[in-house]
Amino acid sequence: MNKSTFPKVQFLLLATVFMWIKTYIVYKTSFDIKIESWMQEFILFINPLSFLLFVFGLSLFMKEKRRNVYIIIVTLLASGILFANVVFYRFFNDFITIPVLLQTKNMADLGSSFSELFKFSDLLLFLDVIILIALYYLKPNFTKIQLISKKERRFYYLITAAVFFFNLGLSEAERPELLTRTFDREILIKNIGTYNYHVYDIVLQSKSSAQRALADGSSFVDIENYLNANYKKPSEETFNMANGKNIILVSMESTQSFVINETVEGEEITPFLNDLIEDSYYFENFYHQTAQGKTSDSEFILDNSLYPLGRGAVFFTHGSNEYTATPKIIKEHGYYSSVLHANNKSFWNRDIMYDSLGYDHFFDIESYEVNDENSVGWGLKDKEFLEQSVDLMKTQPQPFYSKLITLTNHFPFELDEEDKMIDELTTRSRTLNRYIPTVRYQDEALKHFVQKLKDEGLYENSILVFYGDHYGISENHNVAMGEFLGREVTSFESVQLQRVPLIIHIPGVTDGDKSKVISDVSGQIDLKPTILHLLGIETKNDVHFGADLFSDKKVEFTVLRDGSFITDKYVYTKSTCYDKETGLEIEATNCEPYMEKATQELDYSDQIVYGDLLRFYNGTDYKEELEEAEVTE
Ligand code: GP9
Ligand code: MN
């Protein structure tokens, strides 16, 4: 490329520079990307460039007439991708992946939150498109089409490749294993940039389709050995404690543990749950392990004791896999199973997935009476939902296993004036401020629910399992959260904020003295074996990664989906080891013994899901092998 080449590609270069600078501005203003050194800042700055040079460069192969139109269309599309990521990030605090994008049904339902998430300033993202169009029409001299020689094209792509490898080299040096450890999207975006990341995501998507096709039963052997070694015997005291009783699970939307026993101006946020805890087993160090699939991920973990996926919602990506979920298992023990949730049946692909999990019935929105008066935010108010649900549950054969999914305490945390029982906070985050009254409302709804269960005669013969599905307040609100908690929200504190309440209430058993606060570290992955053991069902031959919460052999080790983990002594997150007691950073060597196990566990679970391995597992083979292993031990 020489002096005379430059004017030939000036329109192309202008479009590239616009997109490049714009992308960097978006990184700095719309995403919360942690930068620790000037080198990281430099990588962040250059990372959009290689992709942009590549796609815009394709115009050099086009007929002169089409070239500028192509450049404008690419600018429009790339701006659209940025825009979608910006809006998505505000909601999920995460970047888009293809499986999530394919969830168009969900995206449409998210529409109700869109007006909350959309800002007029977002339209500025399309400013360069307008400038380019104006130049195209008004300054024909600037955009004048000229011939490009083969040699010039080759030179252009040589530079593009150089930029790409320069970027990749710097990133690999900064972050080894960048492309193999993919559950941290922030690190990917930080290093290879948002556009290359999307290309990479497409590659992953095709890889996962291939993985299923290539898998066979032999892949299961290592996993079996691992699970076998991890199996924990149930505690004699609690095994069979709830035999034959109904299981009523309530997924408490976006409910984090920090609201429990917390007050605002002297008022309890969750007075009912605080009281219920006194008469229940309460797990105060129980973590959610969800990722992009939010509520559906928590359901997946609960019923399968498998991890959700690092990208996309497993309910969508692997809805037709074979599973050995709790509903399937307890059916053999005479249980009827159902889900009650006042939303469209296809949201999170639930209708398909529930069949795969073996649920007998899904009471979706069609089963409820929903009107303007009894709705707010995402739909039917919790009080009405829970009330109508009791009537629906009464129609079921007993014993049953029913999962109720609440909805009012969902972003953007809308509430009618008459339902506000506590003041909003006054922090800088409107989201956090509004969260408190909706949590308070949900608490009241649960109080009515338990009363109604008593009134309708369902209470005595049931056990109640209330759990938080995932966080409600994302890291975007750390500063406000720090204001509320009275301490800075560090990475350590962020992990601790992933605790969600778990309350197991067994009428006649946990009332009064028997109630306990259990401080052992645990997670949603532990629910399946815990529930099965309470019902007196052995889990030795079941494929699960969790352990019975009541087992005295249970190891305190909980892995979060992003690879962070928590033990009785340590918290490990974002490549840093913390002392759990003090929250202070300590030598990485302390956490090292657990690092491999954490990665291994997530990897084994992923292998099961991606390979659809449970289709090769019929329980008996696995059992025989286990028994053989025991004999030889
Ligand atoms: C929607 C409900 C809420 O049906 O599960 O979804 P979420 O956004 O929390 O996953
Ligand atoms: Mn949810």
Q: Are residues 156 and 257 in the same domain?
A: no
What phi-psi label fits residue 368: left (phi over 0), alpha (psi between -120 and 50 degrees) or beta? beta
Q: Are residues 408 and 471 in the same domain?
A: yes
Q: Are residues 251 and 174 in the same domain?
A: no
Query: What is the distance between the alpha carbons of residues 561 and 519, in angstroms, rounded to a whole number?
Result: 21
The residue whose C-alpha atom lies closest to atom 3 belonging to ligand 1 is: 295
**412-454 pLDDT per residue, tens:** 999 999 999 999 999 999 999 999 999 999 999 999 999 999 9
The residue whose C-alpha atom lies closest to atom 9 belonging to ligand 1 is: 295
Question: Is the pLDDT at 3 greater than 60, yes or no?
Answer: no
Of 150, 181, 211, which residue constitutes the final position of a domain? 211
- Is the C-beta atom of 343 inside 6 A of ligand 1? yes
Query: What is the distance between the alpha carbons of residues 433 and 447, in angstroms, rounded to a whole number?
Result: 23
295 given a catalytic annotation: yes
- Is the C-beta atom of 347 inside 6 A of ligand 1? yes
- Is the C-beta atom of 294 inside 6 A of ligand 1? yes
**524-572 pLDDT per residue, tens:** 999 999 999 999 999 999 999 999 999 988 899 999 999 999 999 999 9
Query: Which residue among 100, 253, 362, 375 has the greatest number of ligand 1 atoms within 8 angstroms of its CB, and so is best to mutate?
Result: 253
Ligand nearest to the CA of 362: 1
Q: What is the pLDDT of residue 105?
A: 59
DSSP tag of 614: G
Q: Is residue 498 part of a domain?
A: yes
Q: Are residues 393 and 527 in the same domain?
A: yes
Query: What is the distance between the alpha carbons of residues 378 and 470, in angstroms, rounded to a whole number?
Result: 17
Residue 629 identity (one-letter amino acid): A
**Residue 295 Cα to ligand 1 middle (Å):** 5
Q: Are residues 522 and 574 in the same domain?
A: yes
**Residue 472 Cα to ligand 2 middle (Å):** 8
**Residue 109 Cα to ligand 1 middle (Å):** 10
**Residue 454 Cα to ligand 2 middle (Å):** 27
Domain that holds residue 299: 220-632
Q: Are residues 517 and 576 in the same domain?
A: yes
Query: What is the distance between the alpha carbons of residues 43 and 112, in angstroms, rounded to a whole number?
Result: 37
Q: Is the CB of residue 480 less than 8 Å from the CB of residue 432?
A: yes
Of 187, 211, 235, which residue constitutes the final position of a domain? 211
Could you tell me which of 89, 328, 133, 317 has the C-alpha nearest to residue 211? 317
- Is the C-beta atom of 533 inside 6 A of ligand 1? no
The residue whose C-alpha atom lies closest to atom 6 belonging to ligand 1 is: 295
Mention every residue, 6+ apart, whose C-beta is less than 8 A from residue 319.
349, 352, 353, 356
- Is the C-beta atom of 405 inside 6 A of ligand 1? yes
Q: What is the pLDDT of residue 98?
A: 74
Total of domains in the chain? 2
Ligand nearest to the CA of 341: 1
Which phi and psi (to 5°) does residue 631 adopt?
-60, -45
Ligand nearest to the CA of 500: 2
Query: What is the distance between the alpha carbons of residues 608 and 163, in angstroms, rounded to a whole number?
Result: 38
Residue 348 identity (one-letter amino acid): W
Q: Does 470 carry a binding-site annotation? A: yes
Q: Does 469 carry a binding-site annotation? A: yes
**272-311 pLDDT per residue, tens:** 999 999 999 999 999 999 998 999 999 999 999 999 998 8
**58-102 pLDDT per residue, tens:** 999 988 778 999 999 999 999 999 999 998 888 777 788 776 766
Distance of CA 622 to the CA centre of its chain: 31
**Catalytic one of 75, 295, 408, 558:** 295
- Is the C-beta atom of 89 inside 6 A of ligand 1? no
The CA-based angle 606-610-612, given to 5 degrees, is 110
- Is the C-beta atom of 349 inside 6 A of ligand 1? no
Pairing of strands 267-268, 502-505: unpaired
Q: Are residues 146 and 224 in the same domain?
A: no
Q: Does 382 carry a binding-site annotation? A: no
Q: How many helices (H) and strands (E) does the chain have?
A: 23, 19
Pairing of strands 557-559, 462-468: unpaired
**Residue 342 Cα to ligand 1 middle (Å):** 11
Q: Is residue 429 part of a domain?
A: yes
Q: Are residues 276 and 195 in the same domain?
A: no
CATH number assigned to the domain comprising residue 571: 3.40.720.10
